[in-house]
Amino acid sequence: MKTLENKVAIITGSGSGIGKAAALLFAQEGAKVVVSDIQEEHGKAVVEEIKSQGGEAFFFKADTSKPAENDALVKATVEKYGKLDIAVNNAGIGGPLGMTGDYPLEGWQKVIDINLSGVFYGMHYQLPAMQKNGGGVIVNIASILGMAGTRFSPAYVAAKHGVVGLTKATALEYATMNIRVNSIGPGYIMTPLLTNALDEATLKQVEALHPIGRLGKSEEVAELILWLSSPKSSFVTGSYYAVDGGYLAQ
């Protein structure tokens, strides 16, 4: 029997990067996957890839920064598959760079809306659906910058720290309801979010920040997401797991 046989999973931001890798892996492990992204073309391509490999999935376009769209995503999932077992709140952006005193206010608001409020809105609608189903699992994608700081990204650092704290609070609230909630802190991962933002010289500098000597791969993060979403981690809730090539050990 596959690890996620007969499970239904929502994965936000799954049109590319870590979310895409998780969607493909979940489908391989037997889950029915709801691929959600604001990039409709990318999301539908992931669904087609899943189906070509014999998996089951459908695409639902949703902007996680909007409460109503999170609500609609959960309702569409339950309508299509009858339940919700797993939610991976992965959608996020890097946002602008700048000193806190000069940071653009609209940039701050956008990063907080997507990277922090989007996770809250997601869980706000996911949790009641899971309660009706008798339990479930939520994995929130934070960052190494949910545990450490860095210059020139005050909004991103604040949002990801917030995700870690929000995860802990929610895990405590639902621990007796058979709902587990954990967060993951990826290091710098070779995804479009990173490669589109940095030139080759800067990427080399970022690689050097990791004791393991390279950037991470989306598939490596997806394996941790899978474990946290599976019965193999049944005694794990309220935890934060780094997958960072040793970054936080320094």
Whole-number Å distance between alpha carbons of 187 and 101 = 26
Is residue 203 within 8 Å of residue 195, measured between CB atoms?
yes
Contacts (Cβ under 8 Å, ≥6 apart) of 198: 206
Residue 243 in contact with residue 186, Cβ under 8 Å?
yes
Q: In this structure, what token pair is assigned to residue 92? A: 């996020």
For residue 108, CA distances in Å to 38, 96, 101, 112, 118 come to: 20, 8, 12, 6, 14
Do the beta carbons of residue 71 and residue 125 sit within 8 Å? yes
CB 34 within 8 A of CB 57: yes
Task: Respond yes or no: is residue 125 known to be catalytic.
Answer: no
CA distance 244 to 246: 5
Selecting among 125, 156, 240, 247, the annotated active-site residue is: 156
Contact 211, 202 (CB under 8 A): no
Per the structure block, which two tokens stand in for 234?
Answer: 């049944």
Catalytic sites, residue numbers = 156
